[in-house]
A and B are shown apart, each in its own frame.
Chain A
Amino acid sequence: MLATDLYDLRKTLMQSGVMFAYSGYMTEQVRLAVGETLKQKLSMEEADTKTVRSVFAVFVEQMQNVIRYSAERVPEEETPEVTELSFGILTIGKEGNEYVLLSGNLIRSEDTERVSEKLREIQGMNHDQLKRFYKDKLREGPDEYSQGAGIGFIEIARRASRPIEFDFAKVDDRHSFFALKANI
């Protein structure tokens, strides 16, 4: 049973083309370590330099997005000596010739409208508009949703070969699950 169950989980992932899957607490240390392994794996593939770097860039932004904004974190109360851990999921795989990166985390339900508004705006932009928006946002500085420059989503959209996809699923009274997909 033990091996069968675990093998089934692995099979489900592999059947959907997933080559990396991480579900759990994410930190910068995890991002850096997984990132190095991802780079190694990508360098063994036949993909061109630009694709490889774009996959890596999207991975970095998605992972940092979870680390910064996941609403599922321990400890729940801020304690100065303890580094917070954020929970999330991230997979990297292939669909045909394209790389696909999926990331997900809980967000507070009241934030869903703001996040989807932001993402819909990005979805509707072509490459040149995204370039301009990226620069404008860098100039503007952080907005109310972000600790960072709030341009992670724009960076993901710029690197993606088609419009990014996103979705929300209600989890409980206070939280929704946020999923983000980018193809490269």
Chain B
Amino acid sequence: MEPLKIPATSNTPEVDFDFDQNRFCLKGESHPEDVTAFYQPVMDPLEAHLGNHGDGTCEFVLEFIYFNSSSAKIVMTLMDLIDEAAEAGATVNVKWVYDPEDDNMLELGEEFGEDLEHAKFELVAQESE
């Protein structure tokens, strides 16, 4: 399957989904004008892919600087998809990368990571540039 790559904008994150390598990254800010319009074309292929994943390995890197409350719903849905794939037999590693200067993102990582019962979750401090 073709990779899905969307460059970051001031209000939407960079999307880098490599379905063949099973590596999925979201990076940046998320407060789109229309959450559904932005995320539906991103989440639909991911959901289809994970649904047929079986027992391989896949990696998620979530590196949000900020997401608004409407995007939080998407993050929660994403966590559910990830955990379902892991429950179905896949080995799933999730890295939540946060800016050490902003503990809001660390706190949100802890909160969302809590929901993962089958996937491996890791909080990683972003290295300063």
Binding site for B on A (CB under 8 A): 28-29, 32, 35-36, 48-50, 53-54, 56-57, 60-61, 64, 131, 134-135, 138-139, 148-149, 151-152, 154-155, 158-159
Contacts and interface: CB of A to CB of B under 8 A. Distances in A.
B66 A56 contact: yes
Nearest to A154: B69
B68 A138 contact: no
B72 interface: yes
A33 to B, nearest CB: 10
B68 A50 contact: no
A160 B94 CA distance: 29
A135 B111 contact: yes
Contacts of B43: none
B2 interface: no
A103 to B, nearest CB: 15
Contacts of A148: 69-70
B68 A61 contact: yes
Q: Which residue, of B65, B99, B103, B104, has the highest number of chain A Cβ atoms within 10 A?
A: B104
B117 to A, nearest CB: 15
Q: Chain B, interface size: which category? A: 20 to 34
10 contacts: A32-B10, A53-B102, A54-B104, A56-B66, A61-B69, A138-B72, A148-B69, A148-B70, A149-B70, A159-B104
Nearest to B80: A139
A32 B33 contact: yes
A57 B70 contact: no
Interface in B65-117: 65-66, 68-70, 72-73, 76, 99, 101-104, 107, 111
A40 B80 CA distance: 35
A48 B111 CA distance: 23
Q: Which 4 A-B pairs have the closest CB atoms?
A: A49-B101, A28-B33, A155-B69, A151-B69
A60 B102 contact: no
Nearest to B101: A49
B40 interface: no
B33 A50 contact: no
B33 A151 contact: no
Contacts of B102: 49-50, 53
B11 interface: yes
Contact of A64 (B66, B68, B99, B107): B68
